[in-house]
Amino acid sequence: MRNASALAAAIAELGVHCSVEARGALALLLPVSSSFEALQSPDTRRTVVALARQHGFTHVAIELPSDRRSAGRDADAPLLRD
Amino acid sequence: METDIAPDTELTLAQKEADLAAWLVARAPVAVGFSGGVDSTYLAVTARLRLGSDGVLAIIGRSPSYPAAQWAAARQVARSFDVPVLELDTAELDDPRYAANPSNRCYFCKTELWSKLVPVAHARGFPTVADGTNADDLGDWRPGAQAAREHGVASPLAELGFSKQDIRDASRRLDLPTWQQPSSPCLSSRLPYGIEVTPARLKQVERAEEALRALGIAGDLRVRYHEELARVELGPAELTRWLEPGRFATLRTALVDAGFERVALDLRGFRSGSLNVLHGVGQ
Protein backbone atom coordinates (compact mmCIF):
# COMPACT_ATOMS: atom_id res chain seq x y z
CA MET A 1 0.00 0.00 0.00
CA ARG A 2 2.66 2.51 1.07
CA ASN A 3 5.23 2.87 -1.64
CA ALA A 4 8.18 5.10 -0.80
CA SER A 5 10.04 4.41 -4.04
CA ALA A 6 7.07 5.31 -6.21
CA LEU A 7 6.50 8.45 -4.15
CA ALA A 8 10.11 9.53 -4.62
CA ALA A 9 9.75 9.05 -8.38
CA ALA A 10 6.49 11.02 -8.49
CA ILE A 11 7.95 13.88 -6.49
CA ALA A 12 11.03 13.98 -8.72
CA GLU A 13 8.74 14.87 -11.62
CA LEU A 14 7.97 18.12 -9.74
CA GLY A 15 11.66 18.92 -9.61
CA VAL A 16 11.94 17.87 -5.98
CA HIS A 17 14.66 15.25 -5.91
CA CYS A 18 14.85 13.20 -2.76
CA SER A 19 14.92 9.79 -1.22
CA VAL A 20 11.99 8.76 0.92
CA GLU A 21 12.20 7.11 4.30
CA ALA A 22 8.92 5.46 5.29
CA ARG A 23 8.22 5.71 9.02
CA GLY A 24 4.80 4.12 9.28
CA ALA A 25 2.32 6.55 7.76
CA LEU A 26 4.92 9.33 7.71
CA ALA A 27 6.92 9.84 4.52
CA LEU A 28 10.16 11.53 5.40
CA LEU A 29 11.81 13.22 2.42
CA LEU A 30 15.58 13.35 2.42
CA PRO A 31 16.24 15.96 -0.23
CA VAL A 32 19.17 17.50 -1.94
CA SER A 33 19.52 21.10 -0.86
CA SER A 34 18.29 22.47 -4.19
CA SER A 35 14.89 20.88 -3.50
CA PHE A 36 14.08 23.43 -0.84
CA GLU A 37 13.55 26.24 -3.30
CA ALA A 38 10.82 24.29 -5.10
CA LEU A 39 9.12 23.50 -1.80
CA GLN A 40 8.83 27.16 -0.89
CA SER A 41 5.86 27.25 -3.23
CA PRO A 42 2.65 26.40 -1.35
CA ASP A 43 1.26 24.88 -4.55
CA THR A 44 4.21 22.50 -4.83
CA ARG A 45 3.83 21.54 -1.17
CA ARG A 46 0.15 20.85 -1.68
CA THR A 47 0.97 18.66 -4.66
CA VAL A 48 3.60 16.75 -2.67
CA VAL A 49 1.14 16.20 0.17
CA ALA A 50 -1.46 14.95 -2.32
CA LEU A 51 1.06 12.60 -3.92
CA ALA A 52 2.04 11.27 -0.51
CA ARG A 53 -1.58 10.55 0.23
CA GLN A 54 -1.96 8.76 -3.10
CA HIS A 55 0.98 6.57 -2.12
CA GLY A 56 -0.50 5.63 1.24
CA PHE A 57 1.01 8.20 3.60
CA THR A 58 -1.00 10.48 5.90
CA HIS A 59 1.95 12.78 6.64
CA VAL A 60 4.92 14.02 4.68
CA ALA A 61 7.85 15.97 6.06
CA ILE A 62 11.18 17.14 4.71
CA GLU A 63 14.28 16.54 6.76
CA LEU A 64 16.50 19.56 7.31
CA PRO A 65 19.99 18.31 6.53
CA SER A 66 23.08 19.30 8.40
CA ASP A 67 25.50 21.30 6.24
CA ARG A 68 27.73 18.28 5.84
CA ARG A 69 24.94 15.91 4.82
CA SER A 70 23.30 18.29 2.37
CA ALA A 71 26.61 18.94 0.69
CA GLY A 72 27.09 15.20 0.23
CA ARG A 73 23.60 14.58 -1.08
CA ASP A 74 23.86 17.16 -3.80
CA ALA A 75 26.67 15.15 -5.32
CA ASP A 76 24.99 11.77 -4.96
CA ALA A 77 22.29 10.09 -6.95
CA PRO A 78 18.92 9.94 -5.19
CA LEU A 79 18.61 6.96 -2.86
CA LEU A 80 15.32 5.18 -2.31
CA ARG A 81 14.88 3.77 1.16
CA ASP A 82 12.01 1.99 2.87
CA MET B 1 -5.85 43.82 12.63
CA GLU B 2 -9.54 44.79 12.32
CA THR B 3 -12.13 42.20 11.50
CA ASP B 4 -15.80 42.83 11.00
CA ILE B 5 -18.33 40.59 12.65
CA ALA B 6 -21.42 40.00 10.55
CA PRO B 7 -24.65 41.27 12.16
CA ASP B 8 -26.21 37.80 12.48
CA THR B 9 -23.10 36.48 14.18
CA GLU B 10 -23.09 39.51 16.48
CA LEU B 11 -26.68 38.84 17.50
CA THR B 12 -26.06 35.19 18.04
CA LEU B 13 -22.95 35.77 20.08
CA ALA B 14 -24.70 38.42 22.17
CA GLN B 15 -27.45 35.93 22.91
CA LYS B 16 -24.93 33.26 23.84
CA GLU B 17 -23.17 35.68 26.15
CA ALA B 18 -26.47 36.49 27.83
CA ASP B 19 -27.18 32.78 28.18
CA LEU B 20 -23.76 32.24 29.72
CA ALA B 21 -24.30 35.04 32.21
CA ALA B 22 -27.61 33.48 33.24
CA TRP B 23 -26.02 30.04 33.46
CA LEU B 24 -23.29 31.34 35.77
CA VAL B 25 -25.66 33.28 38.01
CA ALA B 26 -27.91 30.26 38.40
CA ARG B 27 -25.03 28.03 39.46
CA ALA B 28 -22.79 30.39 41.43
CA PRO B 29 -20.29 30.18 42.92
CA VAL B 30 -18.38 28.44 40.16
CA ALA B 31 -14.94 26.84 40.11
CA VAL B 32 -13.27 26.73 36.70
CA GLY B 33 -10.61 24.26 35.61
CA PHE B 34 -8.17 26.85 34.36
CA SER B 35 -5.25 26.38 31.99
CA GLY B 36 -4.75 29.93 30.74
CA GLY B 37 -5.89 28.87 27.28
CA VAL B 38 -8.41 30.71 25.13
CA ASP B 39 -11.50 28.91 26.41
CA SER B 40 -10.93 28.60 30.14
CA THR B 41 -9.63 32.15 30.34
CA TYR B 42 -12.80 33.47 28.73
CA LEU B 43 -14.95 31.39 31.06
CA ALA B 44 -13.03 32.37 34.21
CA VAL B 45 -12.97 36.08 33.39
CA THR B 46 -16.65 36.10 32.42
CA ALA B 47 -17.47 34.39 35.71
CA ARG B 48 -15.40 36.97 37.57
CA LEU B 49 -17.20 39.83 35.82
CA ARG B 50 -20.65 38.35 36.44
CA LEU B 51 -20.20 36.86 39.89
CA GLY B 52 -17.56 39.00 41.56
CA SER B 53 -14.36 37.76 43.13
CA ASP B 54 -16.18 35.60 45.68
CA GLY B 55 -18.17 33.90 42.96
CA VAL B 56 -15.37 32.27 41.04
CA LEU B 57 -12.25 30.25 41.69
CA ALA B 58 -9.91 29.38 38.82
CA ILE B 59 -8.05 26.16 39.60
CA ILE B 60 -4.83 25.29 37.79
CA GLY B 61 -3.61 21.69 37.68
CA ARG B 62 0.18 21.68 37.43
CA SER B 63 2.17 18.76 36.07
CA PRO B 64 5.12 18.10 33.73
CA SER B 65 2.68 17.96 30.79
CA TYR B 66 1.67 21.58 31.40
CA PRO B 67 4.15 23.98 29.75
CA ALA B 68 5.84 26.37 32.16
CA ALA B 69 5.29 29.28 29.77
CA GLN B 70 1.56 28.61 29.75
CA TRP B 71 1.49 28.36 33.53
CA ALA B 72 3.13 31.77 33.79
CA ALA B 73 0.71 33.22 31.25
CA ALA B 74 -2.26 31.77 33.13
CA ARG B 75 -1.16 33.35 36.39
CA GLN B 76 -0.56 36.66 34.64
CA VAL B 77 -3.97 36.86 32.99
CA ALA B 78 -5.67 35.88 36.27
CA ARG B 79 -3.80 38.67 38.06
CA SER B 80 -4.70 41.18 35.36
CA PHE B 81 -8.41 40.41 35.61
CA ASP B 82 -8.49 39.85 39.37
CA VAL B 83 -9.55 36.22 39.10
CA PRO B 84 -8.82 34.24 42.29
CA VAL B 85 -6.55 31.28 41.55
CA LEU B 86 -5.78 28.03 43.32
CA GLU B 87 -2.99 25.75 42.11
CA LEU B 88 -2.91 21.99 42.58
CA ASP B 89 -0.26 19.48 41.61
CA THR B 90 -1.48 16.54 39.57
CA ALA B 91 0.42 13.32 39.01
CA GLU B 92 -0.93 11.75 35.85
CA LEU B 93 2.55 10.55 34.87
CA ASP B 94 2.55 8.31 37.93
CA ASP B 95 -0.40 6.42 36.47
CA PRO B 96 0.99 3.65 34.24
CA ARG B 97 -2.21 3.70 32.19
CA TYR B 98 -1.46 7.31 31.28
CA ALA B 99 2.28 6.91 30.88
CA ALA B 100 1.77 4.04 28.40
CA ASN B 101 0.23 6.69 26.14
CA PRO B 102 -2.82 4.88 24.77
CA SER B 103 -5.18 6.69 22.42
CA ASN B 104 -7.48 7.43 25.39
CA ARG B 105 -4.58 8.89 27.40
CA CYS B 106 -6.55 12.10 28.02
CA TYR B 107 -9.16 10.12 29.94
CA PHE B 108 -6.59 9.14 32.58
CA CYS B 109 -5.17 12.67 32.72
CA LYS B 110 -8.55 14.27 33.21
CA THR B 111 -9.55 11.59 35.70
CA GLU B 112 -6.50 12.55 37.78
CA LEU B 113 -7.24 16.26 37.34
CA TRP B 114 -10.92 16.17 38.23
CA SER B 115 -10.52 13.64 41.03
CA LYS B 116 -8.29 16.17 42.77
CA LEU B 117 -9.90 19.42 41.67
CA VAL B 118 -13.60 18.65 42.23
CA PRO B 119 -13.33 17.65 45.92
CA VAL B 120 -11.17 20.69 46.64
CA ALA B 121 -13.69 22.97 44.93
CA HIS B 122 -16.58 21.46 46.87
CA ALA B 123 -14.68 21.73 50.15
CA ARG B 124 -14.13 25.42 49.48
CA GLY B 125 -17.81 26.04 48.90
CA PHE B 126 -17.95 25.84 45.10
CA PRO B 127 -20.70 23.39 44.20
CA THR B 128 -20.33 23.94 40.46
CA VAL B 129 -17.18 22.96 38.63
CA ALA B 130 -16.87 23.89 34.96
CA ASP B 131 -14.34 23.49 32.18
CA GLY B 132 -13.66 25.38 28.96
CA THR B 133 -14.79 22.73 26.48
CA ASN B 134 -16.44 24.47 23.52
CA ALA B 135 -18.96 23.35 20.94
CA ASP B 136 -16.30 22.66 18.30
CA ASP B 137 -14.57 20.25 20.66
CA LEU B 138 -17.61 17.99 20.66
CA GLY B 139 -16.79 16.78 17.14
CA ASP B 140 -13.21 15.86 18.03
CA TRP B 141 -11.77 12.74 19.60
CA ARG B 142 -11.79 13.88 23.24
CA PRO B 143 -11.73 10.97 25.68
CA GLY B 144 -11.03 13.48 28.46
CA ALA B 145 -14.62 14.68 28.16
CA GLN B 146 -15.84 11.36 29.57
CA ALA B 147 -13.78 11.91 32.72
CA ALA B 148 -15.32 15.35 33.09
CA ARG B 149 -18.82 13.90 32.87
CA GLU B 150 -17.97 11.17 35.38
CA HIS B 151 -16.91 13.82 37.88
CA GLY B 152 -19.91 16.07 37.33
CA VAL B 153 -17.93 18.79 35.57
CA ALA B 154 -20.08 21.09 33.45
CA SER B 155 -19.09 22.50 30.06
CA PRO B 156 -21.23 25.62 29.69
CA LEU B 157 -19.46 26.94 26.58
CA ALA B 158 -20.21 23.73 24.72
CA GLU B 159 -23.67 23.46 26.22
CA LEU B 160 -24.59 26.98 25.09
CA GLY B 161 -23.16 26.56 21.61
CA PHE B 162 -20.02 28.70 21.81
CA SER B 163 -17.71 27.87 18.91
CA LYS B 164 -13.99 28.60 19.17
CA GLN B 165 -14.49 31.65 16.99
CA ASP B 166 -17.31 32.87 19.24
CA ILE B 167 -14.95 32.63 22.20
CA ARG B 168 -12.18 34.47 20.35
CA ASP B 169 -14.60 37.24 19.33
CA ALA B 170 -16.00 37.58 22.84
CA SER B 171 -12.50 37.49 24.33
CA ARG B 172 -11.41 40.27 22.04
CA ARG B 173 -14.25 42.46 23.23
CA LEU B 174 -13.12 41.84 26.80
CA ASP B 175 -9.54 42.74 25.82
CA LEU B 176 -8.32 39.33 26.91
CA PRO B 177 -4.77 38.74 25.67
CA THR B 178 -5.79 35.21 24.79
CA TRP B 179 -8.23 36.19 22.04
CA GLN B 180 -5.81 35.33 19.27
CA GLN B 181 -3.63 32.92 21.20
CA PRO B 182 -3.03 29.62 19.41
CA SER B 183 -4.66 26.53 20.88
CA SER B 184 -2.38 24.96 23.42
CA PRO B 185 -3.00 21.33 24.29
CA CYS B 186 -0.76 19.57 26.79
CA LEU B 187 2.78 18.55 25.88
CA SER B 188 1.89 14.85 25.84
CA SER B 189 -0.07 15.50 22.65
CA ARG B 190 3.28 15.80 20.86
CA LEU B 191 4.12 12.13 21.48
CA PRO B 192 2.64 9.48 19.18
CA TYR B 193 0.35 7.03 20.90
CA GLY B 194 2.25 4.08 22.29
CA ILE B 195 5.41 6.06 22.98
CA GLU B 196 5.79 6.22 26.75
CA VAL B 197 5.18 9.65 28.25
CA THR B 198 8.12 10.54 30.49
CA PRO B 199 9.13 13.81 32.14
CA ALA B 200 12.34 13.82 30.07
CA ARG B 201 10.49 13.56 26.76
CA LEU B 202 8.01 16.24 27.74
CA LYS B 203 10.83 18.52 28.78
CA GLN B 204 12.61 17.88 25.47
CA VAL B 205 9.51 18.90 23.51
CA GLU B 206 8.99 21.93 25.73
CA ARG B 207 12.61 23.02 25.24
CA ALA B 208 12.26 22.59 21.49
CA GLU B 209 9.08 24.66 21.22
CA GLU B 210 10.51 27.37 23.47
CA ALA B 211 13.61 27.48 21.25
CA LEU B 212 11.45 27.98 18.16
CA ARG B 213 9.43 30.70 19.84
CA ALA B 214 12.73 32.36 20.72
CA LEU B 215 13.52 32.41 16.97
CA GLY B 216 10.42 34.55 16.50
CA ILE B 217 8.04 31.88 15.27
CA ALA B 218 4.53 33.11 16.02
CA GLY B 219 1.14 31.44 15.71
CA ASP B 220 0.47 27.74 15.57
CA LEU B 221 3.48 25.57 16.30
CA ARG B 222 3.98 21.96 17.32
CA VAL B 223 7.12 19.90 17.69
CA ARG B 224 6.00 16.30 17.25
CA TYR B 225 8.23 13.74 18.92
CA HIS B 226 9.30 10.77 16.77
CA GLU B 227 12.13 9.32 18.89
CA GLU B 228 15.32 10.87 17.47
CA LEU B 229 13.34 12.94 14.94
CA ALA B 230 11.49 16.20 15.60
CA ARG B 231 8.69 16.82 13.09
CA VAL B 232 7.82 20.50 13.17
CA GLU B 233 4.38 21.77 12.20
CA LEU B 234 4.10 25.49 11.39
CA GLY B 235 1.51 27.78 9.85
CA PRO B 236 1.76 28.29 6.06
CA ALA B 237 3.62 31.63 6.14
CA GLU B 238 6.16 30.42 8.72
CA LEU B 239 6.64 27.19 6.78
CA THR B 240 7.49 29.07 3.60
CA ARG B 241 9.84 31.32 5.55
CA TRP B 242 11.74 28.49 7.23
CA LEU B 243 12.11 26.48 4.03
CA GLU B 244 14.43 29.17 2.70
CA PRO B 245 17.81 27.54 2.10
CA GLY B 246 19.67 30.19 4.06
CA ARG B 247 17.36 29.95 7.04
CA PHE B 248 16.50 26.38 7.92
CA ALA B 249 19.90 25.59 9.40
CA THR B 250 19.08 27.97 12.25
CA LEU B 251 15.89 26.11 13.00
CA ARG B 252 17.66 22.77 12.81
CA THR B 253 20.38 23.88 15.19
CA ALA B 254 17.81 25.07 17.73
CA LEU B 255 16.16 21.66 17.80
CA VAL B 256 19.42 19.72 17.85
CA ASP B 257 20.38 21.81 20.86
CA ALA B 258 17.05 20.81 22.42
CA GLY B 259 18.05 17.16 22.14
CA PHE B 260 16.85 15.90 18.76
CA GLU B 261 19.25 14.26 16.31
CA ARG B 262 17.12 14.86 13.23
CA VAL B 263 14.71 17.65 12.32
CA ALA B 264 11.99 17.73 9.68
CA LEU B 265 9.38 20.27 8.59
CA ASP B 266 5.92 18.88 7.96
CA LEU B 267 4.88 19.95 4.46
CA ARG B 268 1.20 20.20 5.26
CA GLY B 269 2.02 22.37 8.22
CA PHE B 270 0.17 22.70 11.47
CA ARG B 271 -2.94 20.66 12.05
CA SER B 272 -4.62 20.07 15.35
CA GLY B 273 -4.81 16.40 16.26
CA SER B 274 -2.11 15.54 13.72
CA LEU B 275 -1.03 12.44 15.60
CA ASN B 276 -4.62 11.22 15.75
CA VAL B 277 -4.58 11.19 11.95
CA LEU B 278 -1.18 9.49 11.86
CA HIS B 279 -2.53 6.67 14.01
CA GLY B 280 -6.04 6.56 12.58
CA VAL B 281 -7.59 7.47 15.93
CA GLY B 282 -11.10 8.90 16.01
CA GLN B 283 -11.43 8.66 12.24
ipTM of this complex prediction, to 2 decimal places: 0.84
Give the DSSP per-residue string, chain B: ------HHHHHHHHHHHHHHHHHHHHH-SEEEE--SSHHHHHHHHHHHHHH-TTSEEEEEEE-TTS-HHHHHHHHHHHHHTT--EEEEE--GGGSHHHHT--TTHHHHHHHHHHHHHHHHHHHTT--EEE----GGGGGS--THHHHHHHTT-B-HHHHTT--HHHHHHHHHHTT-TTTTPPP---GGGGSPTTSPP-HHHHHHHHHHHHHHHHTT--SSEEEEEETTEEEEEE-HHHHHHHTSTTTHHHHHHHHHHTT-SEEEEESS---TTHHHHHTTTT-
Q: How many CB pairs under 8 A join A and B?
A: 66
Task: Find chain A residues with C-beta within 8 A of B236's C-beta.
Answer: 42
From chain A residues 51-70, the ones with a CB under 8 A of any chain B CB are 52, 58-64, 66-67
**Would B156 be classed as within a structural domain?**
yes
Residue A2 pLDDT greater than 70, yes or no: yes
- The tens digit of pLDDT for each residue in B155-169 reads 999 999 999 999 999
Q: What is the mean pLDDT of residues B226-246?
A: 93
B236/A37 CB distance under 8 A: no
**Would B164 be classed as within a structural domain?**
yes
What pTM was computed for the model?
0.83
How sure is the predictor about B250, in pLDDT bands with cuts at 50, 70 and 90?
very high
Residue B3 pLDDT greater than 50, yes or no: no
Mean pLDDT over each residue of chain B, to the nearest integer: 92
**Would B100 be classed as within a structural domain?**
yes
Nearest CA of chain B to the CA of A59: how many Å?
Answer: 7
* Whole-number pLDDT of residue B185: 83
User: Does one domain contain both B214 and B80?
Assistant: no
Last-in-domain residue among B173, B198, B219? B173
Q: What is the mean pLDDT of residues B120-136?
A: 97
Full domain range(s) for residue B204: 187-278
**Would B272 be classed as within a structural domain?**
yes
* Whole-number pLDDT of residue B118: 98
Q: Map out the domains of chain A as residue ranges.
A: 4-75
User: Does one domain contain both B144 and B269?
Assistant: no
A26/B231 CB distance under 8 A: yes
- The tens digit of pLDDT for each residue in A6-36 reads 999 999 999 899 999 999 999 999 987 677 8
User: Does one domain contain both B37 and B109?
Assistant: yes
Q: What CATH number did the domain enclosing B143 receive?
A: 3.40.50.620
Share of chain B above pLDDT 90, in %: 84
Residue A68 pLDDT greater than 70, yes or no: no
Residue A67 pLDDT greater than 70, yes or no: no
Residue B142 pLDDT greater than 50, yes or no: yes
In CATH, A4-75 is 3.30.300? yes
Provide the number of structural domains found in chain B: 2
User: Does one domain contain both B223 and B155?
Assistant: no
* Whole-number pLDDT of residue A82: 39
Mean pLDDT over each residue of chain A, to the nearest integer: 82
The count of other CB atoms within 10 Å of the CB of residue B133 is 25
